[in-house]
């Protein structure tokens, strides 16, 4: 357990995280789309060309909904006064995203950050940070991210026999889902490239675990691994293509639980079950036959062709 006697979880609940800003251009939006595999197998894909090119006279490219995670990336500060942990032992456990408006192809963002959850798990702590992203010019709320991280070695700070646990959001927004026993509504297979993590990192996540072979080996992996949020982007792209018929604005919210690492170059198979306006999904690595990601996506509606 972490030796953190000065850490008071009750005081942590009133901690104010600093606001942050983020600006992106159309180039950043397109680079992100390429980073999560858009147009990788077909450069003129009818469903995906609009994410990287002004197709058919459209004024600007469309922005994929999981770009929300990039907008909040720099604001997800996991430092609470007195809570000590080794950043190398941080594990990204879950991501929850709510989308309120389609993203402009370029934008200046104002992020407001707050503590959404803190849990003492004995040898570890679970920290949940919420980021609300506003368009600077209009003040419109564009999206909300809630990142859940598992801090190994940071637990044991409870002041009573009952482990400290705090959450300020509804339980139905967690990413835990029961995978149906029935046949999936749709299955989509996608190949990641050997250079996928090197391409995705250009969108702002420069953690060397995803690029440096020595760092990856110290962390227990045979080679650098793919970013979990990149895998989430692949899964949501599969849902947009197969359920939303290419329309990213149908996505209302996204929940994902990261279960296992992916090595760049592996094949991702995403299974989808449609339950009303909710898509339950599971993403597996074909080569190792292991589930790496699961969760759900809530939709604003369904296309008539379904």
Catalytically annotated residue among 35, 47, 205, 261: 205
Active site residue 205: yes
97 counts as catalytic: no
Report the alpha-carbon distance of residue 302 to residue 186 in Å, rounded.
14
210 as an active site residue: the answer is yes
Our measurement of the distance from residue 170's CA atom to the centroid of its chain's CA atoms, rounded to an integer in Å, reads 19
- Which residues, including other chains, have CB under 8 Å from residue 142's CB and lie 6 or more apart? 68, 71, 99, 100, 101, 103, 107, 109, 133, 134, 135
Question: Which of the residues 210, 227, 239, 243 is marked catalytic?
Answer: 210
- Of residues 35, 228, 233, 295, which has the active-site annotation? 228
- C-beta of residue 228 within 8 angstroms of C-beta of residue 69: no
Tell me whether strands 124-135 and 107-120 are parallel, antiparallel or unpaired.
antiparallel
Are 219 and 88 within 8 A, CB to CB?
Answer: yes
Beta bridge partners of 258: 293
Residue-wise DSSP of 178-199 = PPPSSPPSEEEEEEPPTTHHHH
Closest CA to 47 of 230, 190, 247: 247
**How far is residue 232's CA from residue 229's CA, in Å, rounded to a whole number?**
5
Query: Residue ranges of the alpha helices (H) in 136-287?
Result: 196-200, 213-218, 228-242
Q: Collect all residues with Cβ–Cβ distance below 8 Å to 29 and sequence separation of at least 6.
A: 51, 61, 63, 64, 67, 103, 105, 106
Six-digit token string for 93: 């456990």
Q: From the candidates 61, 109, 225, 243, which is the catalytic residue?
A: 225
Facing residues of 271 across strands? Answer: 187, 282
User: What is the DSSP pairing of strand 124-135 with strand 165-167?
Assistant: unpaired
Q: Give dist(CA 21, CA 134) in Å, integer.
A: 9
Show which residues are catalytic.
205, 210, 225, 228
């Amino acid at each position: 357990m972490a030796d953190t006697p000065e850490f008071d979880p009750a005081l942590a609940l009133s901690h104010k995280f600093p606001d942050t800003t983020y600006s992106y251009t159309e180039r950043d939006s397109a680079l992100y789309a390429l980073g999560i595999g858009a147009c990788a197998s077909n450069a003129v894909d009818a469903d995906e060309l609009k994410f990287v090119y002004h197709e058919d006279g459209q004024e600007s490219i469309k922005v994929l909904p999981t770009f929300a995670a990039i907008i909040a990336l720099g604001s997800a500060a996991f430092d609470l006064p007195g809570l000590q942990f080794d950043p190398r032992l941080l594990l990204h456990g879950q991501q929850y995203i709510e989308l309120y408006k389609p993203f402009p192809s370029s934008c200046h963002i104002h992020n407001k950050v707050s503590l959404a959850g803190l849990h003492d798990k004995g040898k570890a702590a679970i920290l949940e940070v919420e980021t609300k992203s506003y368009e600077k010019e209009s003040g419109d709320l564009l999206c909300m991210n809630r990142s859940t991280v598992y801090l190994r070695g940071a637990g044991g700070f409870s002041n009573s026999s009952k482990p400290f646990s705090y959450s300020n959001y509804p339980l139905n927004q967690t990413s835990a889902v029961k995978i149906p026993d029935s046949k999936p509504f749709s299955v989509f297979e996608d190949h990641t490239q050997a250079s996928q993590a090197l391409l995705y990192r250009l969108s702002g996540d420069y953690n060397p675990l995803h690029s440096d072979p020595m760092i990856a080996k110290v962390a227990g992996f045979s080679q650098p691994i793919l970013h979990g949020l990149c895998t989430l982007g692949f899964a949501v792209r599969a849902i947009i293509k197969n359920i939303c018929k290419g329309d990213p604005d149908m996505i209302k919210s996204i929940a994902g639980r990261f279960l296992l690492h992916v090595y760049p170059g592996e094949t991702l198979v995403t299974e989808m079950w449609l339950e009303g306006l909710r898509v339950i999904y599971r993403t597996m690595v074909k080569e190792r036959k292991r589930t790496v990601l699961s969760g759900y996506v809530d939709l604003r509606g369904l296309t008539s062709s379904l």
